[in-house]
Amino acid sequence: MSGNNRANIQIGLEVNIVQKQDQRSGELTKGVVDKILTNSPNHPHGIKVRLDSGEVGRVKEILS
């Protein structure tokens, strides 16, 4: 599933995100979605979420 569509993302899903400071390196951070921050139905760079750890980034992969 694509991390670019808001409909694919729900609270509690395990995802890989890229944080703002990691955009150049492409380093991914794994975690569980706590809140969906993007309001639009889709975004070309990924839907922005906050993980339960407090980290914020754009979804690149949906793991579960």
DSSP 30-63: EEEEEEE---SSB-TT--EEEETTS-EEEEEEE-
pLDDT at 2: 83
Tell me how far apart the alpha carbons of residues 52 and 64 are, in angstroms, rounded to a whole number.
15
pLDDT tens digit at each of 64 positions of the chain: 789 999 999 999 999 999 999 999 999 999 999 999 999 999 999 999 999 999 999 999 999 8
pLDDT of residue 1: 77
* pLDDT for 3: 92
Domains present along the chain, CATH in parentheses: 6-62 (2.30.30)
